[in-house]
Amino acid sequence: MTDHFETSPRRPTEIVRAERLVAGGAALSRREDGQIVLVTGALPGELVEVRVERRSGTERGRMLQILEPSDQRIEPVCPHVLEGCGGCDLASLAPASQQSVKADLVRDSLRRLGRISDAVVEEGPVLDAWGFRTTLRMAVVDGRAGLRMAESHDVVGLEHCAVAHPLLDELIVEGRFGTATEVLLRVGARTGERMAVITPNAAGVRLPGDVLVVGADELAAGRRAWIHEEVAGRRWRISAESFFQTRPDGAEALVQVVRTLAEDVLDLEEIAGSPRTLLDAYCGVGLFAGSLLDGRSDWRAVAAERSRSSVADARQNLADIDARVVGTSIERLRAPGADLVVADPSRSGLGRAGVKVLASAGAPVLILVSCDPAAAGRDAALLASSGYRAVRSVLVDLFPHTHHTELVTRFEQVEG
């Protein structure tokens, strides 16, 4: 089996063996002399010929051909992958193998960056690998939406997206986006509501009549626009500029894993009739506080979020529970004393300042939801230096066919 990739003929070629995927999705590979080369597109175990380039002090290999393919390599289901679409960078890896490969990737990050030699990483619930995405941010060329090519600004026009939910895929197929340069498409899989946010404006856009169409210029002028989704038995308002997980079954899986990892704490009784406190950091539209404390009077929440749009949604979504929503960055938060902390930061992770604030809450248990393996490793090391020990991690694969994943980790405060 031989795959060919275009590259400059002037750079040296090497034969390397791919060992494992690392954060970012490239395969850590080695030359015969042991020198490490990062190869995009190679799978663990493969022997590949690459064109070597040195970027930012790191040797990277662009694949020329696969000399010994992995027995887990498959022909991508989506034809757009063969056209260069960069949306699914693990499309050549058999779906049944993706969770285990990602679990190895996460363990590697926790070992190298988190300095956890015996990290326990469990594979979480298996989610549908096709037709799941409810949100896509896409480039627009000549009025049609598409995704960028891997390692390029060029755009692949899409006639169909195999991972898009049918309600969203219809907008990709039928949508005409005028002179737009970018479009954010978002649907409520369980409510049927749909929205398109058009950059820079919605002039000349043609979409089915049920779609809420709003221009980025309108949002900048103060217009509010939202759809709703149903997750964990609750209805959530999600505004155009707010973050929400890209699939409702994935959001439910995260909630369930967090609930399981924090079950012993959530089952604790009130202290002298006073509710216990959950600190929901980077709360977004309120997913974890709302789902974990739904129908409970023995707990209260302090939910902190920087995004003004998400804060407005969280106040709406958490109106029926004892929750105070604070509009601030975590770095500026005056953390309350808490019995449990749940933190779901952006891809860059908590960082030193975020760890310092959350540790000051003094919670015996902290649940961290990480959307980047490298950030998970860095944050684990920072939390260890602040008195928290990682005891259990669960991988939730929200993004099949890509190197992206979510990792939920329980940290316990070390006594003394």
Write out 84-139 in H/E/C secondary structure: CECCCCCCCECHHHHHHHHHHHHHHHHHHCCCCCCCCEEECCCCCCCCCECEEEEE
Q: With contact defined as beta carbons under 8 Å apart, do 407 and 261 qualify? A: no
Assess whether 371 carries a catalytic annotation: yes
Q: With contact defined as beta carbons under 8 Å apart, do 240 and 303 qualify? A: no
Residue 20 CA neighbour count, 13 Å, CB half: 12
Q: Tokens in use for 296? A: 């409970």
For residue 2, the tally of other CB atoms under 10 A from its CB is 9
Q: With contact defined as beta carbons under 8 Å apart, do 227 and 191 qualify? A: yes
Q: With contact defined as beta carbons under 8 Å apart, do 202 and 193 qualify? A: no
- Give the burial class of 363: count Cβ atoms within 10 A of its Cβ; 0-12 exposed, 13-18 middle, 19 or more buried: buried
In order of 102, 370, 378, 390, 397, the CA distances from 122 in angstroms are: 11, 14, 19, 13, 11
Nearest alpha-carbon partner for 324 in 341, 340, 301: 301
Rg of the chain on CA atoms, in Å: 23
Annotated catalytic residue: which of 78, 88, 161, 371?
Answer: 371
Query: Rounded to 5 degrees, what are φ and ψ at 219?
Result: -65, -40
User: Reduced to 3 states, what is the DSSP secondary structure of residue 416?
Assistant: coil
Q: How far apart are CA 37 and CA 170, in angstroms?
A: 41
H-helix or E-strand spanning residue 406: strand 406-413
Q: Which residue has the tokens 């540790």?
A: 359
Residues designated as active site:
371
